[in-house]
């Protein structure tokens, strides 16, 4: 089986490529390396191409007999998406349309999509289940929402089968130390804390201290990237076995506040965070917490690394080396 992985040199993509290779799949990675990194390529064949360019995608499908596509490539910064929405629609929406068009032309009809908890917007009910109303509050989340709508329409009309995976807060690093998180600029909480503890992020701030949560800081559902990767390969296996399309949350079903994460990071590293509070970021909600029961039942998905201790420990091992 030959699997095309877009964004396979990125954070979640690279961990998934590793899992695919371990399970005997042949992998073709396509990445434009705008945010992907050559050092996160752990195998497979790599093609440098830009999904905004239909000709480049067509070439890949002409050269390789692809059985299924895992589509990770996207821009992910919520803040930037407010400032430059056009960039987000062109990168996240247009690329998906181009990819799907070429797939259908080549009769490739199995697709795994990297969606996000951002499709829900401000939660009305916690934990969030997949049938929760979708009301994205930023252009980034809207791009993910729009691709999900397109997938539903294409599957009805053209027999595409897909699994859309709505990630909560991806975190941690490959427990074998080969892969990890390399974003530039880094905006995520756990790497920002660890970079601060390594002396590389002196301006670290806790965004908001008056959320309606027990300690006033925002609560998130952190899921280990290796567990996320596993869910993709399980979803692929279900599609290859002929199952219908599905939409799944991927989280740990456990929430931690920013201050709880800092405390755990201090415990694991033996170092002290200089806590400074800053204003809330635009669009940050008090609590994001998934119900992942459907993913557990439908995929037979078990989380092995998603306790906070393992998430921070594996990320710490990675950041110390990079
Ligand atoms: N935070 C800080 N300081 C930092 C970074 C983050 O206090 O330096 C706080 C944030 O304000 C938030 C929490 O830590 O309360 C987690 O922030 P992240 O940036 O790590 O993650 P988000 O929950 O904001 O975003 C994640 C994904 C997005 C996705 C979103 C779903 O990274 O891609 O969940 O809504 F859109």
- The question of whether 120 is a catalytic residue gets the answer no
**Percentage of residues of the chain with pLDDT beyond 90:** 99
Partners of 69 in beta bridges: 4, 111
Confidence of residue 37 (pLDDT cuts 50, 70, 90): very high
171 lines ligand 1 (CB under 6 A): no
* 230, pLDDT greater than 90: yes
Question: Which of 173, 178, 176 is CA-nearest to residue 188?
Answer: 173
Q: What is the mean pLDDT of residues 196-222?
A: 97
What b/e sequence results for 44-70 when a residue is b if at least 16 CB atoms lie within 10 Å of its CB, and e otherwise?
Answer: bebbebbbeeeebbeebbeebebbbbb
Tokens at 88, concatenated = 């987000």
> Which atom of ligand 1 is closest in space to residue 77's alpha carbon?
33
Question: Which of 37, 4, 5 is CA-nearest to residue 181?
Answer: 37
* Domains, the chain, ordered by start: 2-171+223-250 (3.40.50.720), 189-221+253-321 (3.90.25.10)
Partners of 3 in beta bridges: 27, 68
Residue 87 half-sphere exposure toward CB, CA atoms < 13 A: 10
258 lines ligand 1 (CB under 6 A): yes
* 6, pLDDT greater than 90: yes
144 lines ligand 1 (CB under 6 A): no
Q: What is the mean pLDDT of residues 143-152?
A: 98
> Which atom of ligand 1 is closest in space to residue 141's alpha carbon?
36
> Which atom of ligand 1 is closest in space to residue 193's alpha carbon?
8
* 175, pLDDT greater than 90: yes
Q: What is the mean pLDDT of residues 161-186?
A: 97
Q: Ligand 1 centre and the CA of 50: distance in Å?
A: 27
* 29, pLDDT greater than 90: yes
* 196, pLDDT greater than 90: yes
DSSP string, 96-126: HHHHHHHHHHTT--EEEEEEEGGGT-S-SSS
> Which atom of ligand 1 is closest in space to residue 217's alpha carbon?
15
Tokens at 286, concatenated = 């008090």
Average pLDDT, the chain: 97
Confidence of residue 111 (pLDDT cuts 50, 70, 90): very high
207 lines ligand 1 (CB under 6 A): yes
Predicted local confidence at residue 283, as pLDDT? 87
* 270, pLDDT greater than 90: yes
128 lines ligand 1 (CB under 6 A): no
* 52, pLDDT greater than 90: yes
Taking CA atoms only, the protein residue closest to ligand 1 atom 7 is 206
68 lines ligand 1 (CB under 6 A): no
The model's pLDDT over 69-84, given as tens digits with 9 standing for 90+, comes to: 999 999 999 999 999 9
Q: Are 130 and 247 in contact (CB under 8 A)?
A: yes
Q: Which of 140, 154, 162, 256 is catalytic?
A: 140
């Amino acid at each position: 089986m030959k699997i095309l992985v877009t964004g396979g040199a990125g954070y979640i993509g690279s961990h998934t490529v590793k899992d695919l290779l371990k399970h005997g799949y042949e992998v073709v990675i396509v990445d434009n390396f705008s945010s992907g990194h050559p050092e996160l390529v752990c195998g497979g064949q790599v093609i440098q191409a830009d999904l905004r360019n239909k000709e480049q995608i067509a070439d890949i499908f002409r050269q390789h007999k692809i059985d299924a596509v895992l589509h990770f490539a996207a821009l992910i910064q919520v803040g930037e998406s407010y400032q430059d929405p056009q960039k987000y629609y062109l990168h996240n929406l247009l690329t998906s349309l181009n990819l799907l068009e070429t797939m259908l032309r080549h009769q490739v009809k199995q697709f795994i999509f990297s969606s996000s908890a951002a499709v829900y917007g401000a939660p009305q009910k916690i934990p969030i289940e997949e049938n929760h109303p979708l009301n994205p509050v930023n252009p980034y989340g809207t791009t993910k929402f729009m691709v999900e709508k397109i997938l539903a329409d294409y599957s009805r009309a053209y027999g595409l089968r897909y699994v859309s995976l709505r990630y909560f807060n991806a975190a941690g690093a490959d427990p074998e130390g080969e892969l990890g998180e390399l974003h530039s600029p880094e905006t995520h909480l756990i790497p920002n804390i660890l970079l601060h503890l390594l002396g590389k992020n002196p301006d670290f701030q806790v965004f908001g201290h008056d959320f309606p949560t027990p300690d006033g800081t925002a609560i998130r559902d952190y899921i280990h990237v290796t567990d996320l990767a596993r869910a993709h390969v399980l979803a692929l296996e279900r599609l290859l076995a002929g199952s219908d399309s599905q939409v799944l949350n991927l989280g740990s079903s456990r929430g931690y506040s920013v201050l709880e994460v800092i405390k755990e990071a201090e415990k694991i590293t033996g170092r002290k965070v200089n806590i400074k509070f800053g204003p809330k970021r635009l669009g940050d909600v008090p609590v994001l917490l998934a119900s992942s029961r459907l993913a557990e039942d439908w995929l037979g998905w078990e989380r092995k690394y998603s306790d906070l201790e393992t998430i921070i420990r594996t990320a710490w091992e990675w950041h110390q080396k990079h």
